Structure 1
């Protein structure tokens, strides 16, 4: 009696690579651009993989490709295959091969106002690493491979994640000199009730970690709302009101001045990596780079030194290899 055929005997590794790219890109069109192959080829290879495995891997809708329960299981195993190949490459090279793609996710404010300007040296040291920066206002599902790494203001919860505290930053109140000239400068916390504020648009804020204005000011009278830290900073610069900002948002001072500097809030920075990638050389390189950067810039991030001093500490971190 013949044994039943093994469906994996016909599995094509190229189809798995197309699958992994499609998961990361979340659409067939984006995957085709990433892989430099036609839209129809990506669709055909995904269909062939689903036929080989005997079930659907994606639910296709207007928002793109969403993994099925079986698709998430296949993703987990495919990640293990990739990790094994990367480990084998490192074993052969003897010194760790840092080539690869890293999709790194974090909040818009810290990405635009702090991190992006500090990535050039990492790219120079690791030219074979392709770094993709994804900004978001919600928790990224590392277990679903929405990203490989996630820097957040809170400790994420979930499976298949390796999370560590990697730094901290402080938040304070700031206003333009024009606003303070027109409305007066608060001298103690009781004066804060008499002022106008710039804050987050509540219905678009999914993370309690960014509700720092309410932590500093009880029942603030908000006159301008935005889901963007950059827009809030610009509004405060224009004189609309007082704004609560992390110290890293004031890298060029932006003509904002501190209001009651002793009144601060604190947030920790958490680095989360997909469990199966935590030992990959390119992931380790970026994690170490950020850890060193946040350590060097600790006084600046906590508001203990002005932005000009941080320029030098940041440069020291960037000058070292991760």
Structure 2
């Protein structure tokens, strides 16, 4: 691969945060590191690092290059392990991404994975942003909504979930029980601070509930559930999870959203040991038995 040595050097400068750190990690002289950086910047026609009093700061081009280098380095390391027939514990970083609302479904899998591979550090990112798996931003993504259509992805079904409207008994005693959808204009709501516009539930809420009726928002799903339980307003709750709150009641039970979820991996990393190890956990009987009915 042309300039792979220089790209790998750039990766280690970013990883260690300094020229001297990369020099020690790679076992080469500082002058070699600097020469490699000059070569890669000349090839790209753009700066990879900004050099200032704080050291070497990645530019946007540098950040993109780092993602590609990180992905390639991991693929090569995984290949080398297989080629040598190396046995032993998996280690390093494993990145999982999902919506915050799926944390209760994934927590048992993350726990089983960590117990099976204690040398792996799990980095679990909950965000509405769709991570770019082709840049190595995540090893496994759990995505909600329509099935992803990117040909470079390997997509498998994951546990579906249902969402309805819920309120606490104390709230309903004070404000009354809505009987039909039009009654909702007389009520208060709590809602997600950040929600994907691509979801039908978000479109419905935006059309039905004026902003002035929303009394609390948060980007934390657990916190939102607490606001419902404590009577601040009506809000969305997963039907499976609502069973743990005895003082919470379903509102307008005919209104329900059913969501499909998908396990998404990039084709280049799908067969890697870390990804296969996590997928095996998701498919295991032990994990499946822990999913809510």
Q: Which residue of 1 aligns with 2:85?
A: 93
Residue 212 in structure 1 maps to residue 201 in structure 2: yes
Q: Is the CA contact 1:151–1:272 (under 8 Å) kept in the aligned structure 2?
A: yes
Answer with 113-122 or 141-150: which moved more: 113-122
For the Cα contact (< 8 Å) 1:186–1:192, is it kept in 2?
Answer: yes
Inter-partner Cα distance in structure 1 for 2:97 and 2:165: 27
**Structure 1 residue 238: deviation in Å?**
2.3
Uncovered stretches (5+) of structure 1, i.e. residues with no partner: 1-5, 23-30, 306-322
Q: For residue 282 of structure 1, what is the aligned residue in structure 2?
A: 274
Separation in structure 1 between the aligned mates of residue 132 and residue 107 of structure 2, nearest angstrom: 22
Q: 2-side partners of 1:268 and 1:59: how far apart?
A: 42
Change beyond 3 A, Cα 1:191–1:74: closer
Between the aligned partners of 1:71 and 1:217, the Cα distance in structure 2 is 36
The answer as to 2:229 corresponding to 1:237 is yes
Shift in alpha-carbon separation, 1:216–1:137, aligned structure 2, 3 A: closer
Match of 1:41 in 2: 21
For 1:235 and 1:198, locate their aligned partners in 2 and report how far apart those are by CA, in whole Å: 7
- Superposition deviation, residue 52 in structure 1: 3.8
**1:123 counterpart = 2:114:** yes
Give the whole-Å Cα distance in 2 for the aligned partners of 1:121 and 1:149: 16
Calculate the TM-score normalised by the size of structure 2: 0.73
Equivalent-residue separation in structure 2 for 1:214 and 1:54 (angstroms): 45
Q: Following the alignment from structure 2 to structure 1, what is the Cα–Cα distance between the partners of residues 236 and 65?
A: 43
1:147-169 CA-to-partner distances (Å, cap 9, x unmatched) read: 22222213456574333332311
Secondary structure in structure 2 of the residue aligned to 1:123: helix
* Structure 2 alignment gaps of length 5 or more: 24-29, 52-56
- Equivalent in the alignment of 2:132: 141
Normalising by structure 1, what TM-score?
0.67
Alpha-carbon offset, residue 80 of structure 1: 3.9
Query: SS in structure 2 opposite 1:88?
Result: helix
Superposition pairs of residues 77-88 of structure 1, within 5 angstroms: 79-88=71-80
Q: Cα 1:213–1:243, aligned 2, differ >3 Å: closer, same or farther?
A: farther
Contact 2:179–2:252 (Cα < 8 Å) also in 1: yes
Aligned-residue CA RMSD (Å)? 4.0
Which whole-Å deviations, capped at 9, do the CAs of 1:46-97 have from their partners, x for residues lacking one? 7554224343573659xx74552x8746854663453243133134337786
Mark the CA change 1:103 to 1:93 in structure 2 (over 3 Å): closer, same or farther: same
When the two structures are aligned, how many residues end up with a matched partner? 274
